[in-house]
Amino acid sequence: MRFTRRQLFRAGAGAAALGLVSPRVWAELAIGDSRVSTVSDGSLMLPGDFIFQHMPQEELATLLHQANVPRDRLQPECNVTLYQGGGNTVLFDVGSGPDFMPSAGSVVENLDAIGVAPDDVTHVVFTHAHPDHIWGLLDDFDDPVFANATYMIGRDEWDYWWDPDTVNTIGEARAAFAVGAKRRLEAIEEQIERFDDGQEILPGIAAVASYGHTPGHMSFEVRDGSTAALIAGDAIGNHHVAFRRPNWPSGSDQDAALAAQTRQALFDRMLADELSLIGFHLPNGGIGRAEKASDGYRFIQDI
């Protein structure tokens, strides 16, 4: 099954009508002298098949029952990460803005609730250019919302969305994603810096290639001495199946096989290096850690 932007938008409109918009919740984590917070951009409303269609259905049903997650409808949080340290105020992604789903697009309002204005943001760093991560870039006049920021994106991610042929090859269900990404990247073409895997993009912040969800998706390791966290974006996209069965293909990933390899590598890295985890679509603000379990991993939020 394929889903058009119109179908996804209608699902989001239904969520808004039912009063299912996420509250102004955020979580915090200290990394040395710096602080990492997550700020709500609201939530999405997605049909279950957007993720679950190609998974083993009988075993999936058992896992979803154990996690108390419905099969037919998902409402993932959207958690924008805010890093404050070393004189920098950094946003990782900018949320959906007003044009994707009415249940999302509230990050500016919720930043204001914790005393951060758009003009305070020194850097905007993109994990990838899907709508719920980049469409909040522009205001009603098509000017950047975060006017004083330096913009940063992985080189391979930029190249993919900048390619004029992407809209023709990405598939009908995601064609609007390509158009929307290109329009927003064009608006900041002269203000954006591109980086590569392993590069320290700012003091204490290093890029970690996590391809598969998109062709150039980037995660980030934030470190101060022995304290560190992984900002995973959508490389680990939920707290249930992605943890319990990281090798299963997810319909949300553009390259499902590569994304599965990436998830496993990130879990290995987090456990080996004792990294905290920050996930864009993980629950209750998205900050926690991964713990090995007999049948995969668990998302733990006791930090």
pLDDT in the model for residue 303: 61
**In 3D, which of 126, 130, 114 has the Cα closest to residue 90?**
126
CA distance 198 to 209: 8
**In 3D, which of 144, 136, 299 has the Cα closest to residue 232?**
299
pLDDT in the model for residue 6: 31
Q: Do residues 275 and 260 lie in contact, with contact meaning Cβ atoms separated by under 8 Å?
A: no
Say which amino acid occupies 281. H
The number of distinct structural domains making up the chain is: 1
pLDDT in the model for residue 17: 37
- Cα–Cα distances in Å, from 293 out to 130, 262, 296? 31, 19, 5
- In angstroms, how far apart are the furthest CA atoms of the chain? 52
Q: Which domain holds residue 267?
A: 5-300
Radius of gyration of the chain (CA): 18
CATH of the domain at 194: 3.60.15.10
- Other Cβ atoms closer than 10 A to 173: 16
Q: Do residues 241 and 196 lie in contact, with contact meaning Cβ atoms separated by under 8 Å?
A: no
- Strands (E) across the chain are located at 26-31, 34-43, 46-47, 73-74, 77-85, 88-92, 123-126, 150-154, 192-195, 200-202, 205-209, 218-224, 227-233, 276-279, 287-293, 296-300
**In 3D, which of 37, 39, 41, 19 has the Cα closest to residue 29?**
37
CA distance 65 to 125: 36
Q: What does the buried/exposed string (b/e) look like for 83-112 if buried means 16 or more CB atoms within 10 Å of the residue's CB?
A: bebeebbbbbbbbbbeebbbbbbbbbebbe
Q: What is the pLDDT along the chain (303 residues), one digit of tens a residue?
A: 333 333 333 333 333 333 334 445 578 999 999 999 999 999 999 999 999 999 999 999 999 999 999 999 999 999 999 999 999 999 999 999 999 999 999 999 999 999 999 999 999 999 999 999 999 999 999 999 999 999 999 999 999 999 999 999 999 999 999 999 999 999 999 999 999 999 999 999 999 999 999 999 999 999 999 999 999 999 999 999 999 999 999 999 999 999 999 999 999 999 999 999 999 999 999 999 999 998 899 999 976
Say which amino acid occupies 33. D
> Helices marked H in 69-192 — which ranges?
107-113, 131-134, 155-162, 166-169, 175-187
Both tokens of 221, joined, read: 């390791």
pLDDT in the model for residue 295: 87
Half-sphere exposure of 243 (CA within 13 A, CB side): 24
pLDDT in the model for residue 127: 99
pLDDT in the model for residue 18: 36
**What are 125's strand-pairing partners?**
92, 152
Both tokens of 137, joined, read: 């870039």
